[in-house]
């Protein structure tokens, strides 16, 4: 239980042995209160609208240490992880006008940037993106942009669902995100049959999906 | 109506960035045509956002912010600029993620007949080393001889359709095949079929005969 709560709550780690897992889960849903997604959206919008350097500095202070930590969790050395953080933040500055708060939270948007940046910097190949320009999107099958994905509004529900996942599913997801490993590599490393890893991924995603209202699943 | 989609584990590999460029291109091209798979990718990315948000940060060097602020007004360096998408009239068939791999358009690609099979032609796309990505065009009714692949094969239908055994595939449908599959796809009779096909592992053939007998094995 301790490990599981720790997965999503660094801040509470000092008190871990004294607290019930439920309380830890509650704390992990609350710990972002000082900086809400709305505030982060405001910063990105200021950058897009006014090239606001103060807003950029605030966003940098919030995300750069996380981005460096993200690189280091994947085994990248400290200097390269800082470069990854810096390159990611420079892309945030350049692409601020493409951020759409209806589609994603700022953290999710920045996650996709650091993901692609990591591939650019360390793997030197492209990552074809599933994101489409709205104009193109309208031409294809699928829902119109207006009623698509209101996921951004459901961040706290998703966070709660994540803290309630069984530990074996969380372990697989964490390896996938932090260590940049495909499900077959994860299976090898955990010494599990491929089918077990696949089913943990499927069960985890099903639980997360079920936590969300039907129209944004 | 799209009926065949990537499995969850492939969506996770794609959204975390673990999937190589070749298979990722097929997943992205499918997702471009499939609203429900865009939503599946977005869900995994949202989990990535939460994990990033909750990550215990590593303190950055004292001068990093000032250094970064000083770089804000520099132009983008060449490596970060996406390849320009050439004007093309192929947008109806070719979804956006694939557009920048086809240069000036479908008709400008080098289409090559598959030796011995006049009803099948393919054009190779520029992609990461060790991977083969082709657009394959099957004339209406063409049958691809039974074959298997070493490594995994990922495909998405861009136009027309085909049958493989009892299963039919149409525009937008996604297929993943591992080396245990043997298949014999046959294009529908009502028009040409265009597919994007990616083989993710280089093939090691034992002799020249293998090449002649089975041209679909070449990479």
pLDDT band, residue B95 (cuts 50/70/90): confident
With beta carbons under 8 A apart, name residues in chain A contacting B12.
173, 176, 183, 201, 205
Is the pLDDT at B84 greater than 70, yes or no?
no
* Tens digit of each residue's pLDDT (9 = 90 or more) over A152-170: 677 888 999 999 999 999 9
The pLDDT of residue A213: 78
In a domain? residue A131: no
Task: Give the number of beta-carbon pairs within 8 Å between A and B.
Answer: 224
Residue A109 near residue A149 (C-beta atoms within 8 A): no
In a domain? residue A13: no
CATH of the domain at A58: 1.10.1740.10
The reply to whether residue A130 touches residue B55, judged by beta carbons under 8 angstroms, is no
Do A155 and A211 belong to one domain?
A: yes
Do A41 and A118 belong to one domain?
A: yes
Pick from A68, A107, A126: CB nearest B53: A107
The reply to whether residue A155 touches residue B24, judged by beta carbons under 8 angstroms, is no
CATH of the domain at A184: 1.10.10.10
The interface predicted TM-score (ipTM) is 0.83
Pick from B39, B52, B98: CB nearest A111: B52
Q: Touching check for B21 and chain A: CB below 8 Å?
A: yes
Do A107 and A159 belong to one domain?
A: no
Is the pLDDT at A211 greater than 60, yes or no?
yes
The pLDDT of residue B76: 56
Angular region, B94: left φ>0, alpha ψ -120 to 50, beta rest: beta
Pick from A10, A108, A109: CB nearest B54: A10
Closest CA to B22 of B219, B197, B218, B205: B197
Q: How confident is the model over B195-207, as a mean pLDDT?
A: 66
Residue A28 near residue A159 (C-beta atoms within 8 A): yes
Is the pLDDT at A148 greater than 60, yes or no?
no
Closest CA to A172 of A186, A189, A157: A186
User: For the residues of A150-206, what is the DSSP string, one character each?
Assistant: -GGGGHHHHHHHHHTS-HHHHHHHHHHHHS---HHHHHHHHT--HHHHHHHHHHHHH
* Tens digit of each residue's pLDDT (9 = 90 or more) over B160-199: 999 988 899 999 999 998 877 777 888 998 889 999 999 8
User: What part of B 152-211 touches A (C-beta under 8 Å)?
Assistant: 172
Q: How confident is the model over A61-83, as a mean pLDDT?
A: 92
Do A116 and A46 belong to one domain?
A: yes
The pLDDT of residue B82: 53
Q: Which residue has the higher pLDDT, A217 or A96?
A: A96
The reply to whether residue A128 touches residue B98, judged by beta carbons under 8 angstroms, is yes
Do A121 and A55 belong to one domain?
A: yes
The pLDDT of residue B128: 79
In a domain? residue A89: yes
- Burial (CB < 10 A; 0-12, 13-18, 19+), residue B123, is middle
Report the C-alpha gap between A100 and A151 in whole angstroms: 12
Report the C-alpha gap between B217 and B205 in whole angstroms: 8
* Tens digit of each residue's pLDDT (9 = 90 or more) over B53-80: 988 899 999 999 999 999 998 765 544 4
Q: Which residue has the higher pLDDT, A36 or B5?
A: B5
Is the pLDDT at A10 greater than 50, yes or no?
no
Collapsing DSSP states into helix, strand and coil, what is residue B92?
A: coil
Q: What is the DSSP letter of A10?
A: S
Å from A22 to nearest chain B CA? 17
* Tens digit of each residue's pLDDT (9 = 90 or more) over B7-58: 999 999 999 988 888 999 999 999 989 988 988 998 999 999 999 998 889 9
Is the pLDDT at B129 greater than 70, yes or no?
yes
In a domain? residue A109: yes
pLDDT band, residue A124 (cuts 50/70/90): low
When computed from its CA atoms, the radius of gyration of chain B, rounded to whole angstroms, is: 20
Q: What is the DSSP letter of B132?
A: E
With beta carbons under 8 A apart, name residues in chain B contacting A55.
none
With beta carbons under 8 A apart, name residues in chain A contacting B180.
none
Percent of chain B having pLDDT more than 70? 84
In a domain? residue A16: no
Do A50 and A115 belong to one domain?
A: yes
**For residue A206, what are the domain limits?**
2-8+22-32+151-216
Percent of chain B having pLDDT more than 90? 43
Residue B171 near residue B29 (C-beta atoms within 8 A): no
The pair of three-digit structure tokens given for residue A44, joined into one six-digit string: 């990105």
Q: Touching check for B126 and chain A: CB below 8 Å?
A: no
| Residues in CB range of A188: below 8 A, 6 or more apart | none
Helices A183-190 & A194-211 angle (0-180, nearest 10): 120
To probe the interface with B, which of A72, A102, A126, A154 has the most B CB atoms within 10 Å? Answer: A126
Residue A63 near residue A35 (C-beta atoms within 8 A): no
Pick from B35, B49, B69: CB nearest A111: B49
Strand partners, A163: none
Lowest mean pLDDT among A28-32, A130-134, A211-215, B174-178: A28-32
The pLDDT of residue B117: 81
pLDDT band, residue B201 (cuts 50/70/90): low
Is the pLDDT at A27 greater than 70, yes or no?
no
Å from B83 to nearest chain A CA? 10
pTM: 0.82
Strand partners, B167: B164
The pLDDT of residue A1: 34
Report the C-alpha gap between A175 and A197 in whole angstroms: 11
pLDDT band, residue B86 (cuts 50/70/90): low
With beta carbons under 8 A apart, name residues in chain A contacting B88.
none
Task: List the CATH code of the domain at B96-217.
Answer: 2.60.120.10
Looking at A90, A125, A160, which one is the last position of a domain?
A125
Lowest mean pLDDT among A16-20, A200-204, B91-95, B120-124: A16-20
Q: How confident is the model over A55-68, as a mean pLDDT?
A: 96
* Tens digit of each residue's pLDDT (9 = 90 or more) over A79-109: 999 999 999 999 999 999 989 888 889 999 9
Between the CA of residue B176 and those of A204, A206, B87, B145, what are the distances in Å?
22, 21, 31, 18
| Residues in CB range of A36: below 8 A, 6 or more apart | none
pLDDT band, residue A183 (cuts 50/70/90): very high
With beta carbons under 8 A apart, name residues in chain A contacting B27.
128, 130
Domain count, chain A: 2
The mean of the pLDDT values for chain A is 78
Do A178 and A115 belong to one domain?
A: no
Residue with tokens 């948007």: A109
């Amino acid at each position: 239980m301790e490990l599981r709560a720790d997965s999503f709550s660094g801040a509470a780690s000092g008190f871990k042995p004294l607290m019930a897992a439920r309380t830890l889960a509650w704390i992990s849903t609350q710990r972002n209160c000082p900086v809400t997604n709305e505030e982060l959206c405001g910063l990105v919008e200021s950058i897009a609208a006014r090239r606001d350097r103060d807003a950029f500095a605030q966003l940098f202070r919030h995300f750069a240490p996380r981005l460096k930590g993200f690189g280091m969790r994947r085994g990248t050395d400290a200097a390269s992880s800082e470069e990854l953080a810096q390159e990611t933040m420079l892309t945030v500055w350049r692409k601020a006008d493409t951020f759409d708060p209806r589609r994603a939270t700022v953290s999710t948007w920045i996650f996709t940037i650091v993901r692609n940046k990591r591939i650019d910097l360390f793997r030197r190949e492209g990552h074809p993106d599933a994101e489409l320009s709205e104009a193109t999107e309208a031409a294809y099958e699928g829902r119109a942009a207006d009623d698509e994905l209101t996921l951004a509004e459901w961040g706290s529900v998703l966070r709660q669902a994540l803290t309630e996942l069984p530990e074996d599913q969380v372990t697989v997801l964490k390896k996938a995100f932090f260590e940049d490993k495909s499900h077959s590599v994860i299976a090898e490393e955990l010494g599990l049959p491929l089918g077990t890893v696949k089913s943990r991924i499927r069960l985890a995603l099903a639980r997360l999906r079920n936590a969300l209202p039907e129209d944004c699943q | 109506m799209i009926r065949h989609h990537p499995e969850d584990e492939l969506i996770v590999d794609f959204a975390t960035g673990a999937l190589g460029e070749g298979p990722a291109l097929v997943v992205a091209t499918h997702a471009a045509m499939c609203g429900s798979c865009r939503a599946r990718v977005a869900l995994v990315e949202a989990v990535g956002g939460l994990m990033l948000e909750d990550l215990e940060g590593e303190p950055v060097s004292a001068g990093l912010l000032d250094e970064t602020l000083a770089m804000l007004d520099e132009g983008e360096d060449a490596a970060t600029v996406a390849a320009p998408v050439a004007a093309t009239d192929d947008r109806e068939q070719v979804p956006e993620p694939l557009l920048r791999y086809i240069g000036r358009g479908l008709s400008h690609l080098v289409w090559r007949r598959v030796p011995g099979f006049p009803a099948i032609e393919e054009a190779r796309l520029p992609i990461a080393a060790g991977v083969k990505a082709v657009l394959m065009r099957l004339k209406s009714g063409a049958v691809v001889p039974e074959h298997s692949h070493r490594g995994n094969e990922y495909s998405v239908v861009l136009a027309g359709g085909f049958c493989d055994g009892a299963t039919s595939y149409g525009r937008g449908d996604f297929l993943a095949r591992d080396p245990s599959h043997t298949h014999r796809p046959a294009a529908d009779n009502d028009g040409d079929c265009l597919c994007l096909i990616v083989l993710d592992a280089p093939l090691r053939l034992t002799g020249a005969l293998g090449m002649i007998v089975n041209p679909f094995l070449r990479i």
